[in-house]
Amino acid sequence: MGISSLGVGSGILTQDLLDKLRKADESGQLTPVKLSIANEKDKQSALEVLDANMKNFTDSINELKSGTLYDERSATVSGSKSVAITASANSDIQDFTMSVNTLATKQIEESGAFDLSVAGNDSIGATDGTFKLEVGSQSVNIDYSAGTTLDQMKKLIQEQANSLVDATVLQISPTESRLVLSSKATGASQDIKISDVSGTLDTKLTSDSSFKADGTGNAPVQTALDSSFDFNGQTITRSSNTVDDLITGYSIELLKADAVDASSGVKESSAVSVAQNRDNIISRVDSFVEKYNAAITELGKLTKSSSGSDKGIFSNESIVKGLKSSIENIIGSVGGGAGTLYDYGFDVDKDGVMSIDKTIFNKKLDENPANVEAFFSGGTFTKPDSTTVELTGAFTDMGTEIESYTKYNAMLDQLNDSITTQISSFEDREKSVTDRLDSKYAILKKKYASYDALINKFNASSSIFTQLANQRSSN
């Protein structure tokens, strides 16, 4: 507030007096409006927290009502652990044994030795030409030039046949090098051959090497083999150590060959169990219980009816109280007539805190996992008398009930819109009251200034008369 001369003349009608009068007016007219705005904004903030809790709760419901959750599989391997298994969703649930006889291997072959003690001896041909590289049923023709070195040949193979073989030049000693080729793939069909199509390809790459098609060359460094394994006692072969065509949805990795126990003479094996991924289901159940408790605790605080300072900000709000009641009734109401969540180990204590008895829940999964899936997410539920009933699913029903409050433009959104409208209305009222008081006290200030000037004149006149009277009395 700026410096004012109001009251200088009279000492009565001062700015301080106007400020006190305005403060009294604001207390009666403006403060209640401001408190109402603050209260509505507190409601808005509380609703944001509630929305976050309800989103988490809804997400946990959606996870349990999703049928794909119950299709997930886990595979455990015991025994020799010579295999690793991955089972995709909805694949067969079963137990079996596997014993690995041999692992699939790559074909590795090498050329004859190139003598490096004489310059130029590492040349693969004296004239331009073409050689054919065959790996199993696949082949590629590669051109070379007169004087192409062994190392340059390796690079030509790397550039033009990289999908078939790995090529390297192995220096055996300071004076001896060999070309080594390793098939990219495994399996008995990966034999490697090099033959001269045209030109003068060095015989160390043909007749003096294991690359020779007629078998007169050196023995391979490693002969390509198929994998062999016993599945439930039946011997099966494949060209790879990754087997994904044995059982639909299974990917089997052969890790090592099983040995024969020296004392018993029995060959080692792996015991494999493919089952429903129960850990994942229980994890989602735990999450649901956690999110339920968080939501119901927050709703309890917001709707608390105590008359003290801890009274809930929505204690008189029917929508929020209705949401709390709906959630509290869920555990005993959903189920479609095929039971309730209590039957599956869920419980709520006297304080409203939910818990899950996993012994009961696991027993239900052991007895009939299909019934658990049908009860939770919908499907055909088989009753104890062998009759069946089609269920929409307890968590599907639960989601529908909760979404009537939480989905877009549902009851919580409408409540938030109502609060926003109230805030806007109160802010308009605040501005109106402020403008009215500003106008009122601007007028009063002018009046007080006018009155103060008159009082000042009267005081001045009175002073003159007093001086004259005093003078006359003195004379």
Q: Given this model, what pLDDT does residue 461 score?
A: 67
| Sequence-ordered list of residues with C-beta below 8 angstroms from that of 224, at least 6 positions apart, any chain | 104, 105, 106, 107, 183, 186, 187, 188, 189, 190, 191
| Residues spanned by the domain of 189 | 106-205
Phi-psi region of 35 (alpha: psi -120 to 50; beta: other; left: phi over 0): alpha
Residues 151 and 282 in one domain: no
214 belongs to a structural domain: no
Residues 83 and 68 in one domain: no
More confident residue, 442 or 380: 380
464 belongs to a structural domain: no
Buried b (16+ CB within 10 A) or exposed e, 390-404: ebebbbbbbbebbee
| Sequence-ordered list of residues with C-beta below 8 angstroms from that of 67, at least 6 positions apart, any chain | 373, 377, 378, 379
Separation of alpha carbons 17 and 448, rounded Å = 10
**Does the structure show a pLDDT above 90 at 4?**
no
> 185-189, 402-406, 408-412, 463-467: which has the minimum mean pLDDT?
463-467
Residues 18 and 146 in one domain: no
- Position 80: which residue type? S
What is the 3-class SS of 275-320, one letter each residue?
EECHHHHHHHHHHHHHHHHHHHHHHHHHCCCCCCCCCCCCCCCHHH
Tokens of 273: 């169990």
- Find how far residue 390's CA is from the centre of its chain: 32
Region 67-78: mean pLDDT is 92
More confident residue, 122 or 81: 81
| Sequence-ordered list of residues with C-beta below 8 angstroms from that of 95, at least 6 positions apart, any chain | 271, 272, 273, 274
- Residue where one domain finishes, among candidates 152, 176, 205: 205
pLDDT band at residue 2, thresholds of 50, 70 and 90?
very low
Q: What is the pLDDT of residues 27-46, one digit of tens each?
A: 888 889 899 999 999 999 99
Q: What is the pLDDT of residues 306-317, one digit of tens each?
A: 766 688 889 889
- Judge contact between 296 and 56, C-beta under 8 A: no
The DSSP secondary structure of 395-431, one letter per residue, reads HHHHHHHHHHHHSTTSHHHHHHHHHHHHHHHHHHHHH
Residues 181 and 235 in one domain: no
Q: Given this model, what pLDDT does residue 137 score?
A: 92
Number of domain units in the chain: 3
C-alpha triplet 351, 355, 358: angle, nearest 5°? 160
Residues 172 and 306 in one domain: no
pLDDT band at residue 183, thresholds of 50, 70 and 90?
very high
Separation of alpha carbons 339 and 387, rounded Å = 14
- Tokens 């062999």 label which residue? 228
475 belongs to a structural domain: no
- Position 89: which residue type? A
Separation of alpha carbons 348 and 346, rounded Å = 7
**Mean pLDDT for all residues in the chain:** 88
Residues 294 and 408 in one domain: yes
Separation of alpha carbons 276 and 282, rounded Å = 11
Among the listed residues 261, 425, 250, 397, the one whose alpha carbon sits nearest the alpha carbon of residue 327: 397
- Judge contact between 216 and 148, C-beta under 8 A: no
Residues 247 and 395 in one domain: no
217 belongs to a structural domain: no
Separation of alpha carbons 148 and 107, rounded Å = 25
Residues 40 and 66 in one domain: yes
Phi-psi region of 393 (alpha: psi -120 to 50; beta: other; left: phi over 0): left
More confident residue, 82 or 147: 82
Residues 415 and 362 in one domain: yes
465 belongs to a structural domain: no
Burial status of residue 216 (CB atoms within 10 A of its CB: 0-12, 13-18, 19 or more): exposed
Q: Given this model, what pLDDT does residue 216 score?
A: 55
- Tokens 């790397």 label which residue? 158
Separation of alpha carbons 432 and 159, rounded Å = 83
Which range is most confident: 152-161, 329-338, 399-408? 152-161
C-alpha triplet 416, 419, 421: angle, nearest 5°? 110
Residues 320 and 400 in one domain: yes
Largest CA distance in the chain: 161
Integer angstrom CA distances of residue 196 from 110, 134, 166, 169, 406: 16, 11, 20, 20, 76
294 belongs to a structural domain: yes
Residues 122 and 99 in one domain: no
Separation of alpha carbons 98 and 351, rounded Å = 53
Residues 398 and 332 in one domain: yes
Q: Given this model, what pLDDT does residue 215 score?
A: 52
Q: Given this model, what pLDDT does residue 1 score?
A: 39
pLDDT band at residue 3, thresholds of 50, 70 and 90?
very low
Region 46-52: mean pLDDT is 93
| Sequence-ordered list of residues with C-beta below 8 angstroms from that of 9, at least 6 positions apart, any chain | 452, 453, 455, 456, 459
**Does the structure show a pLDDT above 90 at 21?**
no
Task: Give the global pTM.
Answer: 0.69
pLDDT band at residue 213, thresholds of 50, 70 and 90?
low
| Sequence-ordered list of residues with C-beta below 8 angstroms from that of 164, at least 6 positions apart, any chain | 133, 135, 138, 140, 183, 184
215 belongs to a structural domain: no
